[in-house]
Amino acid sequence: MQHTRPHLPASALAAIIDAAQLSELLRPWLPDAGERAFVVRIISEEGPTHHRCASYALLRLLATIAARTGALPPTSQGLPVAMRLPPHLAGGSPPTFPLALDPEALAAVSGGEAAQSAALADALCDGPAHHVLANVAMANLAAGILRALERR
């Protein structure tokens, strides 16, 4: 049986997460400080430590690329990201998170095909809230980078 390296303590992973950096990279999508703090809290404080740390790493990586390419803001309104409520409260219009999904991120993968875009949106926006919001933030950053590259 192959031995693997022992895991680092969870505190070592958690210590890496800098909420101020997350807040800064989300600012273009969430100018309101209260809304930004809400989303940052979910991404950085909810879910397993390794997932929080991984989301942080990927978001910082994308933000670094975005800064170097001069990522462009979205040109269309984002798709609302619904909160997942328990079944007895389903129906009607569910409340949404303040962070919306950039539809150009979907189009970049689906080629604009509606059914594929809907499936991608459904997948990106499903699961635990920390997962969903990290997905959406990454997709938004990637869409901004693509816009910048296409302008070149």
Partner 1 sequence: MILPPGLSHAFRAAAGELGYAAAAWIFARDVHAEAGDAGVGALRDQLGREYPVLDAVCVSWLAGIRAPVRESAACIAALAGCRRLTIVGLESDALDALLPAMSGLDAAILTYAPLPADWDRVLANFDGALSAIDLDAVLARAGSDSALLCFVYGGDDGLFAPPAWLRLDGPDVRAAFRARIAWNVLPTPFAVYPRWLAEVVPTSFTTVVA
Part of the chain binding partner 1 (CB under 8 A), chosen from 4-12, 91-99, 103-111, 142-150: 91-99
Please tell me the number of Cα atoms within 13 Å of 85 on its side-chain side: 11
- Select the residue interacting with partner 1 from 19, 21, 58, 98 (CB under 8 A): 98
Can you name the residues that pair with 101 across neighbouring β-strands? Answer: 79
Residue type for 99, please? L
Part of the chain binding partner 1 (CB under 8 A), chosen from 9-17, 19-27, 83-91, 116-124: 83-91
Of 78 and 98, which CB lies nearer to partner 1 in the complex structure?
A: 98
- Select the residue interacting with partner 1 from 89, 114, 123, 149 (CB under 8 A): 89
Q: Does 28 bind partner 1 (CB under 8 A)?
A: no
Q: Does 32 bind partner 1 (CB under 8 A)?
A: yes
CA-nearest of 30, 108, 35, 21 to 64 is 21
Q: Does 126 bind partner 1 (CB under 8 A)?
A: no
Which two structure tokens, joined as six digits, stand for 14? Answer: 């958690």
Phi (first) and psi of residue 95, to 5 degrees = -65, 155
Q: Are strands 79-82 and 96-101 parallel, antiparallel or unpaired?
A: antiparallel
CA–chain centroid gap for 71, Å, is: 16
Helix and strand element counts for the chain (H, E): 7, 2
Q: Does 46 bind partner 1 (CB under 8 A)?
A: yes
Binding mask 131-150 for partner 1 (x = CB under 8 A): --------------------
Residues near partner 1, by CB under 8 A: 32, 34-35, 37-38, 41-42, 46-47, 83, 85-86, 88-89, 95-98, 128-130
